[in-house]
Amino acid sequence: MNDFSTEWVLTSVTLLTLGSVFTTFIGERISDLKLGNGTSLLIFTSIISYLPASFGRTVAQAFQDGNYVGLITIILSFFLLVLGIVYVQVSEFSFFKIYLHILFQFSNCLIYIIWMISRKLSAKYP
């Protein structure tokens, strides 16, 4: 960078700040519409938007180099990664549902026991 002037610094800081404020504003509007976590959705969309071009460059480079084994390895790794993520998400959700069910049963049992004890005590000491 040859031109590190005050004008360049002020312009850069202003543009980065305004971009962050605008992105936060859009993310908040998405969250207000109950479409999910707005900022995370914006980041996810940005990452996903680069995947087709990146995948295309990878395939073109693999065909150019004749590296078919590497290409198959990358594709297989991607699908195994997606499969693993889905498995973990589903199993965590199922575990969470089971945990909540057990917790509610236990808390209902405690409430019942407390109610029975208070009933016995109120009958014994009117």
Tell me: the pLDDT tens digits for 56-80?
898 899 889 888 898 899 889 988 9
Residue 21 pLDDT: 93
| Per-residue pLDDT band at 96 (split at 50, 70, 90) | low
The one-letter code for the residue type at 22 is F
| Per-residue pLDDT band at 17 (split at 50, 70, 90) | very high
Pair 39, 58: CB distance under 8 Å: no
Which residue, chain included where needed, has tokens 């390895």? Answer: 73
Contacts of 55 (CB under 8 A, 6+ apart): none
The one-letter code for the residue type at 63 is F
Who wins on pLDDT, 82 or 111? 82
Residue 125 pLDDT: 64
Token couple for 80: 């195994």
Residue 126 pLDDT: 58
Q: Across all residues in the chain, what is the average pLDDT?
A: 81
| Per-residue pLDDT band at 94 (split at 50, 70, 90) | low
Which residue, chain included where needed, has tokens 């207000």? Answer: 32
Strands (E), the chain: none
Residue 42 pLDDT: 86
Token couple for 11: 């312009």
CA-CA-CA-CA dihedral for 74, 79, 81, 86, to nearest 10? 170
Residue 15 pLDDT: 96
pTM score: 0.47
